[in-house]
Amino acid sequence: MQSKTLKVGIVGGTGYTGVELLRLLALHPNIELTAITSRGEAGMPVADMFPNLRGYVGLNFIDPAQADLGSCDVVFFATPNGIAMQQTRALLDKGVRVIDLAADFRIQDIAEWEKWYGMTHACPDLVAQAVYGLPELNREQIRTAQLVANPGCYPTAVQLGFLPLLEAGLVDVDHLIADAKSGVSGAGRKAEVHTLFAEAGDNFKAYGVGGHRHLPEISQGLARMSGKAVGLTFVPHLTPLIRGIHATLYARLDKQADLQALFEQRYDNEQFVDVLPKGAHPETRSVRGSNQCRIAVHQPQGGDTVVVLSVIDNLVKGAAGQAIQNMNIMFDLPEKTGLEIMPLLP
């Protein structure tokens, strides 16, 4: 399979996750970009909207109604919530494998999804078929999946940080805390007052304290890891960064263990999770533009609280990079293909 060229389509190529998919796929040795859809920008050269792609992506945006997505091997949905669920069944029926970067297939409890996303689900039967695309947890299921629900950005950073502790049964799962910060690109490429430079620059604030759409997704994942329901307090914050997520995670230890060794052993064979040396403090700039998650684990003053620091680029490991990682797994390609990108610093 490694020598095969995969035909790839992208639905909704005008957002930040869309351009990030294009940036990464343009240099992927095993893919051919065949269609990038946009109703509003149909006919426009992709490189006119995203000048960084000039010389790398020669396609024009095409209206979805005109795109031959059924001839693709895999289609990525880089669309707002509620779009992929309208189109996925027809693609699956044609043998196309689908990776949804939005939330349409992430949450197994349909009523819970409808409550948080404020719409009726168009294909609830496909939700049960979807595989949650966190490779470090579900790699074997992803290999044979026809439909992958790519995790959200906050959920990726939080789940990777808590995973070793929950699998080992070391912490009180009733009182988990995730204090997470995101750059403004996490809000998407749309005009909103709160993401204007004069509003978000030189400012720092929490939001969604009473409830955030990523909460049920994170809680579902942590429950799977621990084998029972969890109690999670999740507080997101907006920072004056373009890219980056920093999750500071807290849990109460029920048992003592060598936490550094636990994390190093759990992620020893993971190509995109880097456990830093004891006492380290990961920075968002250390992962900018890459598919890396860098993690450090602390036990302040040797007490019974464990603090995990987890950083990712929200557009790469938190979105497009992880989606390509999933594609590589699904088509039996080396997992790093197209993703061997050194972070950009400064």
CB 80: neighbour CB atoms within 10 A? 14
- CB 22 within 8 Å of CB 325: no
CB 325: neighbour CB atoms within 10 A? 29
**How far apart are the two ends of the chain, measured CA to CA in Å?**
38
CA 343 to chain centre: 17
Token code pair at residue 6: 């995969």
Burial of residue 117, with CB atoms counted within 10 A of its CB: 0-12 exposed, 13-18 middle, 19 or more buried: middle
Strand partners, 45: 60
State yes or no: is 293 an active-site residue. Answer: no
3-state SS assignment for residue 31: strand
**Torsion sign (Cα): 196, 11, 110, 163:** negative
Tokens 């590589």, located at residue:
328
Four-CA torsion 82, 84, 89, 90, nearest 10 degrees: 120
CB 336: neighbour CB atoms within 10 A? 13
Catalytic residue among 72, 123, 153, 293: 153
Distance (Å, whole) CA 101 – CA 147 = 11
- Of 137, 63, 131, 122, give the one whose Cα is nearest residue 98: 131
Helix, strand, coil percent content, the chain, rounded in steps of 5: 35, 20, 45
* Active site (catalytic) residues: 153
